[in-house]
Amino acid sequence: MTQESSSIQAIPKTENFPKHIAIIMDGNGRWAQSRFMPRISGHKQGVETVRGVIKACMERGVPYLTLFAFSSENWRRPNEEIDSLMQLFLTALEQEITKLHENGICFKVVGDLSKFDSKIIESIQIGEQLTAENNRLTFTVAANYGGRWDIMQAVRKMLAQSSELPLNIQEESLAQYLALSYAPEPDLFIRTGGEYRISNFLLWQLAYTELYFTNTLWPDFDEHELELAIQSYQQRERRFGRTSEQIRMAISTEG
Ligand code: IPE
Ligand code: IPE
Ligand code: MG
């Protein structure tokens, strides 16, 4: 996130199509429980949804997709569910990385990885290195991620590395250390599963993101549902603090 791309420092040039979609994939547990299946079956089905959403984003030319897979608060869940989620994450990493690479996808993980098993950390590193030069779609998984963790780690890095006096510190001095600094701020945020909250996801980066909530549970979220979210986005007027009149004027002078 550079000064030019900060929605606070300048009015970003936005297009009718979202460049960055960020999603809270919620509702896996309820999907499984409504079928009298264990919660992990919902998470497994959720991986299938991830495949479909990646494909749909590629077909539509969305350059950045960020998915919230495990929050810094999800460690509060029962150990059994955490263990199954970690196993599923490792299996998905091992099975999918080559396919992501073949499709020209750049794979990244953001979050505090220090708590993960060494096998998972190793698979993430292999995947990130293998796909680093790809540019068809940047696909980021937020794992053990929390918006407050992100801001705190950025503050710590900035204080350790910057020679600026604290009084001179500007937004961009901090923003460059945020976990998603390589991506523009999300244009469209989607949360499935009927909950209307951010759950400590991208607190800094969502400043001017358009928010879309659906009751559809993540395992049922398909290409059509994604299309509905994009259509809703396309009907929004992104004012970034200005009035509607100013926006109409800007459009008419642009020609
Ligand atoms: C989201 O689904 C996946 C993770 C948080 C890992 P949930 O597991 O939160 O599903 P619900 O909300 O209990 O239905
Ligand atoms: C948010 O979902 C985190 C992820 C999707 C990874 P949760 O289901 O954990 O969120 P809360 O606890 O209902 O807010
Ligand atoms: Mg949930």
Q: Nearest bound ligand to CA 88? A: 1
74 is catalytic: yes
Mean pLDDT by runs of 10 across the 255 residues of the chain is 73 89 98 98 98 98 98 98 97 97 98 97 98 98 98 96 84 95 98 98 98 98 98 95 92 78
Distances (CA, A) of 165 to 157, 173, 174: 14, 11, 13
Q: Nearest bound ligand to CA 28? A: 1
Q: Please tell me if the CB atom of residue 25 comes closer than 6 angstroms to any atom of ligand 1.
A: yes
What CA–CA distance (Å, rounded) separates 196 from 219? 18
| E strand or H helix that includes residue 108 | strand 105-110
DSSP output for 22-73: EEE---HHHHHHTTT--HHHHHHHHHHHHHHHHHHHHHHT--EEEEEEEETT
What CA–CA distance (Å, rounded) separates 94 from 109? 14
What's the CATH superfamily of 16-254? Decaprenyl diphosphate synthase-like (3.40.1180.10)
Mutate to test the pocket of ligand 1, among 23, 24, 30 (most ligand atoms within 8 A of CB): 30
The verdict on pTM exceeding 0.85 is: yes
Q: Please tell me if the CB atom of residue 74 comes closer than 6 angstroms to any atom of ligand 1.
A: yes
Contact 24, 199 (CB under 8 A): yes
**71 beta partners:** 145
**67 beta partners:** 23, 141
Q: Whose CA is nearest to atom 1 of ligand 2?
A: 199
83 is catalytic: no
| E strand or H helix that includes residue 144 | strand 137-145
Residues with CB in 5 Å of ion ligand 3: 26
